[in-house]
Structure 1
Amino acid sequence: MIRKILQKLPTPFGRQTRQRTTPQVIAASQHNLHPRRISRHAVSVVEQLQRAGYEAYLVGGCVRDLLLDIVPKDFDVATSATPEEVRATFRNARLIGRRFKLAHVRFGREIIEVATFRASHDSDSDSENLDDSELSRQSESGRLLRDNVYGNFEEDAQRRDFTINALYYNPTDGHIHDFANGIHDVRNRQVRLIGDPVRRYQEDPVRMLRAVRFAAKLDFDIEPHSAEPIFELSELLHDIPPARLFDEVLKLLMSGQGELTFELLREHDLFSPLFPDTEEAIEANPDYSLALIRQALRNTDLRIREDRPVTPAFLFAALLWPALPERVKALEDKGIPTIPAQQQAAQELLAEQCRHTAIPKRFTIPLREIWDMQPRLERRSGRRADQLLEHPRFRAAYDFLLLRETTGEQTQGLGDWWTRYQDANEDQRRQMIRELGSEGAGKRSRGRRKRKPRAPRTGD
């Protein structure tokens, strides 16, 4: 499938980004990056590497965000020092990664990530310090499996994904080094790939997701030549390990711009490879499915903006819920009772989903409990309501019930009943339970058919 997709595409696809062999150097007086907003530990790492004789710069998202007057979440450093040389320079450093080996320098709870200058995978740059198993490798679709070919400053800039992430800041003199016109794209609010888009997406299909994430996060547009091949190449995401896609989904949908990100994913046909069953449910029942997912993402975005806790379990429960009812109904039609049918359908749906986006058990377990409690919330007679109220997952299940009702699902006032029940005292709760019993009895009496009187028996 992937090979057929690639054969259909012309190469190169559209215009390539012009790359400089020498950087444009923007002096401190020509940009608005404020040094006081930079982590002192990040500055310390850069200065210590420079004193040791290596080139070193702050790079990537932290530089981009500072130019946009956004407080960076973390700070990355690019250097000519190899990971082993970084570890020898800092006692508080440790090496991580195999696909992309780098160093973490820890200062208490803050980690400064230090990466060695890389070259493109087909570069002739010196890599004598690595054995063949550690050098760059590619899959048949063009995806880079490892990327440990070390290069120089210029090569490192040219192999980065987007122009806005190829900006290098030297805190020593305040200069920004720009090899790919990244400053221009920051000012024009554009996400643009460096190099031929098709080749860059082949090397790492996750770049398509990153383009969408940056566009949503920064309120940028994806530059047309970078956006054009995404629709045709979206199925390359099937070649990405599901565990990695889970991490990317968290970044996409739990960074405060989830609703906008969702719309962009669907616009570029990137949602279907991540959630194929949900996409089918959206096509079958778009009004309900889209309303529920959008409302869940809207609620998540609001909680993040208010610095309130969010859990992936609840969000994934909402993302996958539209695909569940038809599966449950199919099992009920076979004679399986509702609750066992829902449990079996949930297990099958999650097993299929994890082949695309591998949701860890620490999230699938509470997710299933939220789902399992939905039909149980309808069963409130006797002591059941109190037992459900004491369940550790009750609040999440109750919130999920309200989400379903908000998006038009009919539950005969179940959400309002549980809202009142939580606020009621003991006597009021018992009365609410008795009223449920009388309502049920009334319904049964109204629905009961009168028997015809028996004819009197006559003797033989």
Structure 2
Amino acid sequence: MNLTKNYVTRDADLNSNIGNHAVLDIIGNLKRHGYETYLVGGAVRDMLIDRIPKDYDVSTSATPEEIREVFSRKRARIIGRRFRIVHVRAGSQIIEVSTFRKSPSKKEIEEADNELESLRQEDDINHEGHDEENNDENSHHHHKHHQHKHSQHVDHSTLIIRNDNEYGTAYEDAWRRDFTVNAIFYDPVKKQIIDYTAQGLSDLENKIVRVIGDPQTRYSEDPVRMLRALKLVGQYGFTLEEKTQSALLEMQQSIQFASNSRLSLELEKILKKPYACDIIKTFYQYGFLANFLPNLHSVFQSKETQLAIQLLETRCDFINQNLIPDYLTNAMSVIALPFIASEFSGNHENAIFHYEHDQKKPMRRVLRSVFYPLNFPRWMVYEAIDAIFMQNRLFSGERSHKIKKHRSFYSAFDLARVVNHCIVKDEKFEVFWEKLLHHKK
């Protein structure tokens, strides 16, 4: 890749858009110890378009060992085997800090995929107890336990590409990134923006997604870059730059060569977000869904999929309004519900069908088919099906005091709120349950 030394700097105070003050403390601390340090990636992109970032990434010239020395072993934990980043604890929050790196080779990306597969298997093993035998109504899991369980699901997304411990400069680190709009660095101490590609700021202003370097080469190195390009189109309404788009349309079938674990993780990240629906629609419009989720693509115009999209849109709206949390299992059940209802009741809108207990296994089979060939941890599949299975009892109010103690109750209740808004439209439903849930003994 040709790294021209022309880059753009601009004075700008974006600190008011940083919603997490721990980020400022961490960057300031590293800089006081003499290390070049920036806020990088999607957080800077979001701040420049007046959005408050949800996630923050910090890059520095300090090695993982030096980062840990600055913050102590109690606060800083080095994670990863071949590729190492540091999680710095700030109260209850974790900030990811990585060392400037050069661009990884294709072989290194493949090795990272293998490590990701191992990590996902470990995560699934840790949740093996979540099945119907251990998921009865007598397991008294309340909402805080439900939240805690979800918080313990390991997000391995930070480990995917950073498998190379060949450290570099800030300039090299920017040029190894995928798109110009994601390669803008911000120094909150100097209050300065650095655009090492000299195109990121103008592309962001013009809402353009441009691959850094030759698109065909970069897609060949890592096909997942095509997925991420379309995510930006769906999430922000950006437009693909001409060469970025033509290479994507020509090469999108190669996404099938990316590891299943990697693509499954990307799907998890998409479904959790409040813009999931827009991204899935974008995938379909570009023909990308045929290679990503071929079963869903083949029935995209069906009444089941259209209802699933409607339910997913409502879920996204509810997340934006802070009415429900962004749990992945809720998105899974929202999308799968019309297909399961159609399969077992003959009516895709029969969201409150009374399922028999022995139908849970074939229900799980339908859910997995919708998302084929990608997969979720087994415990998530079980919980998503539990949520669908419990809809009939939630809307009937049958044994309400008992069902609210079910370990999957809150997943089922979040789904029911979406179902009620789109399909059932029972004005008394939420009043009944809110009164019951807030009733003090």
- After TM superposition, the score normalised by the length of structure 1 is 0.68
Q: 1:348 to 1:62 in 2, by over 3 A?
A: closer
Larger radius of gyration: 1
Deviation at residue 194 of structure 1 after TM alignment: 0.6
- Residue 58 of structure 2 aligns to a residue whose secondary structure is strand
> Which residue of structure 1 aligns with residue 25 of structure 2?
44
- Residue 398 of structure 2 aligns to a residue whose secondary structure is helix
> Which residue of structure 1 aligns with residue 332 of structure 2?
316
> Which residue of structure 2 aligns with residue 136 of structure 1?
108
Report if the CA contact (8 A) 1:273-1:356 is conserved: no
Deviation at residue 364 of structure 1 after TM alignment: 1.5
> Which residue of structure 2 aligns with residue 147 of structure 1?
164
Report if the CA contact (8 A) 1:242-1:355 is conserved: no
Deviation at residue 276 of structure 1 after TM alignment: 3.0
- Whichever residue aligns with residue 84 of structure 1, its letter is E
| More displaced 10-residue stretch of structure 1: 56-65 or 364-373 | 364-373
Matches of 2:179 and 2:110, distance apart in 1? 20
Question: Is residue 2:226 matched to residue 1:254?
Answer: no
Deviation at residue 277 of structure 1 after TM alignment: 2.8
Deviation at residue 338 of structure 1 after TM alignment: 8.0
| More displaced 10-residue stretch of structure 1: 77-86 or 230-239 | 230-239
In structure 1, which of residues 217, 234, 248 is the aligned counterpart of residue 235 of structure 2? 217
Matches within 5 A, 1:56-455: 56-91=37-72, 92-98=75-81, 100-121=83-104, 136=108, 138=110, 146-180=163-197, 181-282=199-300, 286-310=301-325, 311-324=327-340, 339=356, 342-352=359-369, 356-373=373-390, 386-387=398-399, 391-392=403-404, 393=409, 395=413, 398-399=416-417, 402=420, 406=423, 415=424
Matches of 2:226 and 2:192, distance apart in 1? 30
Report if the CA contact (8 A) 1:253-1:262 is conserved: no
- Residue 297 of structure 1 aligns to a residue whose secondary structure is helix
- Residue 186 of structure 2 aligns to a residue whose secondary structure is strand
Q: 1:48 to 1:22 in 2, by over 3 A?
A: farther
- Whichever residue aligns with residue 204 of structure 1, its letter is D
Give unmatched runs, 5+ long, in structure 1. Answer: 1-15, 124-134, 331-336, 407-414, 425-460
Matches of 2:388 and 2:8, distance apart in 1? 55
Deviation at residue 160 of structure 1 after TM alignment: 0.6
The superposition leaves residues 78-98 of structure 1 with CA deviations (integer Å, 9 ceiling, x where unpaired) of 112211121122212111123
Query: Percent identity, aligned pairs only?
Result: 29
Deviation at residue 46 of structure 1 after TM alignment: 2.6
Matches of 1:138 and 1:170, distance apart in 2? 33
Deviation at residue 270 of structure 1 after TM alignment: 3.0
Q: 1:422 to 1:186 in 2, by over 3 A?
A: closer
Deviation at residue 307 of structure 1 after TM alignment: 0.9
Matches of 1:421 and 1:251, distance apart in 2? 29
- Residue 250 of structure 1 aligns to a residue whose secondary structure is helix
Q: 1:417 to 1:151 in 2, by over 3 A?
A: closer
Deviation at residue 138 of structure 1 after TM alignment: 4.0
Deviation at residue 388 of structure 1 after TM alignment: 7.6
- Whichever residue aligns with residue 403 of structure 2, its letter is H
- Whichever residue aligns with residue 167 of structure 1, its letter is I
Matches of 2:50 and 2:6, distance apart in 1? 27
Bigger relative contact order (CA 8 A; separation at least 6):
2
Matches of 2:210 and 2:429, distance apart in 1? 53
How many residues align? The count is 368
- Residue 389 of structure 2 aligns to a residue whose secondary structure is helix
Matches of 2:191 and 2:430, distance apart in 1? 61
| More displaced 10-residue stretch of structure 1: 47-56 or 260-269 | 47-56
- Residue 403 of structure 2 aligns to a residue whose secondary structure is coil
Report if the CA contact (8 A) 1:197-1:225 is conserved: yes
Deviation at residue 328 of structure 1 after TM alignment: 5.0
| More displaced 10-residue stretch of structure 1: 217-226 or 339-348 | 339-348
Report if the CA contact (8 A) 2:333-2:415 is conserved: no
Deviation at residue 369 of structure 1 after TM alignment: 2.4
- Whichever residue aligns with residue 228 of structure 2, its letter is R
Report if the CA contact (8 A) 1:136-1:148 is conserved: no
Matches of 1:138 and 1:398, distance apart in 2? 41
